[in-house]
Chains A and B, each alone.
Chain A
Amino acid sequence: MKRWLRFISHRLVYMVTTLWVIVTITFFLMNLLPGTPYNNRDKLSPAQLQVLDEKYGLSEPLFTRYTTYINNILHGDFGISLQFSDQKVTTLLGSRIGVSIQLGLQAVIFGTLIGIILGIIAAMKHNTWIDTFCSLFAIVGRSAPNFVVAVLLQYIFAVSLSLLPIGLWKDGFSSSILPTLALSISPMADTSRFIRTEMIEVLGSDYIELARAKGMSELRLVLTHGLRNALIPMVTIIGPLTVSLITGSMVVENIFAIPGIGEQFTKSVLSNDYSTIMAVTILFSTLLVIVIFLMDVLYQLIDPRIRVGQKT
């Protein structure tokens, strides 16, 4: 238990430092963006500009604004959206985050699950037409950008077949099917390639040979001995996969007009909505840092050889 406490406290320090660096860099970079939060700045008189700048706290020098901002977020205040001036950023994002999380989770779970199954099948049917078919699917899935897949799916299932809604988030689960599919194709392809390679290696190992010599059926030994060993290295790629889904969802959310965080983020960048950009960046990076932390914990639970500080 003690080693876990030490492990977790170490990691917490790293996580907070990482977040601070990200916040700082984004804050200064964002202020280098061309343009201002105001529409038609040229039509405003200097006096009007000054009033507005003071209202939104933009008249202070950049560094003062930075320290105020850090102070504010430490107190849980992420400010008011510059785009929707009566809305707090937290409420604005809070109403959208559920949608993005649902979409992201559905895509991760569906993508990796199907990917793992395809990978196992390809490995067990190594060098047959089934294996070739799975490889082909993986190459296409990996190389086609998800916005292309999204549009194709819309065309096939919404336009031609009229089976599913083309966009928006109005029909509950059925409107989440196409965006989930579009988002999950690439992680599915990645996972299947990865699991196939790992599984082929594991299936050639001595302990699988011993399991065969025990009289175990091929399917059973794949599921009891093969999968667990093949999944260990998979933990390392799940982190980056999740990130790609978070960033990927920006485009996909736009294509399907889904009211999620990604769609809001693109709007905010286009209108120089400083406080929202910052909040979304912090949200995404916090998610990422937590995901990476969870992966490290998972790694140790799954592989007994790398338990923290354990004596061998």
Chain B
Amino acid sequence: MSNIQLDVKNLSVSFSTQAGKVHAVRDVSFSLHKGETLAIVGESGSGKTVTCRTLMRLLSKNASIDAGEILLEGTDILKVSERNMRHIRGNDIAMVFQDPMTSLDPTMKIGRQIEEVITLHRKVKRKEARKRMLELLQLVGIEDPRRRSRQYPHEFSGGQRQRIVISIVLACNPKVLIADEPTTALDVTMQAQIIDLLKSLQKKINTSIIFITHDLGVVANVADRVAVMYAGKIIEIGRADEIFYDPRHPYTWGLLNSMPTLDTSAPSLYTIPGAPPNLLKPPTGDAFAPRNEYALAVDELYEPPMFQISDTHYAATWLLDARAPKVNPPAVLNKRREEFIKRSGLYAES
């Protein structure tokens, strides 16, 4: 048990809006081991970001955490006072945001923005903080740190800014790093560099990473384990190889199938038909049933529980029930798999 860094149990989060209560995260449970990378994938609005913001307790005012606990090394951070939570943020749990272009204060020299987080959590003198700041800049690959630390964000490129943000979030050696689509706003070569950087830093400071992304190619390269979210729930979770080689949920099939690759030969790209359900009124049965070509009658009535496939692999679909008809995943997935393996080579460490 001591290997578990973060344990999320039955977490439910909702937002009160004028239209009513939106159930953004519904009964989500997962655990994060020390030093591992867990990727959370899913389409927009599936609850990935809300889940992670809850871990930081950085939700907007109209949000409420309806149930669940988040255990950071045994302490439930949902019960911690706001003052103590500030000690956890940036120190124990840190977060990288999607857009590096707007993540830094445009009016403050980047050196000071890094020093700020150090002096906030460590009782050090300005001089020591400065020394640590220069080390960090070096570490994330900013050349000539002494001169560069006196510059403003607009004097850096997008990739460099994301490096600076990474140096800010890793300044206090956090136990958990949440990366919310850290490469989405960058071009492909820059994505590969940033991912390599995160991987090498992860080894150095032995932090656990939760990586939110749309890009399954990135997932194949960085993740030890993968959680697939749909309509506010985790519908499949397992080791990366299990998700890629042996996916069990029809939604995961669709997701893998709809990823375009460089050598896609089909005349048009595959899409999952329909749209995600309205979370103002979550459906009674399986939320994915209306879009699922393999849907069973039971899907309309009862929500599928998590079926265990192996020690590490779980999926929530009635297809795994002993009484369900045997359904094979679409044949095209086999070909896809080959493509993913090839594609993930793009991000391999050199």
Binding site for B on A (CB under 8 A): 205-207, 209-217, 224-225, 228-229, 232, 302-305, 312
Contacts and interface: CB of A to CB of B under 8 A. Distances in A.
A63 to B, nearest CB: 52
Nearest to B107: A228
Interface in B63-93: 86-91
Please classify how large the interface on chain B is, using the bins under 10, 10 to 19, 20 to 34, 35 or more: 20 to 34
A214 B106 contact: no
Given A206-B97, A304-B152, A312-B154, A214 B89 contact: yes
B99 A212 contact: no
B168 A214 contact: yes
A214 B117 contact: yes
B103 A207 contact: yes
A213 B105 contact: no
B97 A217 contact: no
Contact of B91 (A215, A232, A304): A215
A228 B105 CA distance: 10
A304 B106 contact: yes
Choose among A206, A213, A304, A305 the residue with the greatest number of B CB atoms under 10 Å from its CB.
A213
Interface string B175-193: 0000000000000000000
Interface of B: 56, 58, 86-91, 94-95, 97, 99, 102-108, 116-117, 120-121, 152, 154-155, 165, 168-169
B86 A229 contact: no
A213 B154 contact: no
A213 B56 CA distance: 7
B152 to A, nearest CB: 4
Contact of A207 (B87, B88, B105): B105
A213 B91 CA distance: 9
Q: Is the interface of B mostly helix, strand, loop or mixed?
A: mixed
A52 B91 CA distance: 85
Contacts of B86: 215-217
A224 B115 CA distance: 13
A72 B260 CA distance: 80
A206 B107 contact: no
B8 to A, nearest CB: 18
Choose among B103, B107, B120, B121 the residue with the greatest number of A CB atoms under 10 Å from its CB.
B107
A228 B165 CA distance: 20
A11 B246 CA distance: 71
Nearest to A127: B61
When A and B form their complex, which 10 residue pairs have the shortest distance between CB atoms, in order from nearest?
A215-B90, A215-B89, A214-B90, A206-B102, A304-B152, A214-B117, A207-B105, A215-B86, A213-B95, A206-B103
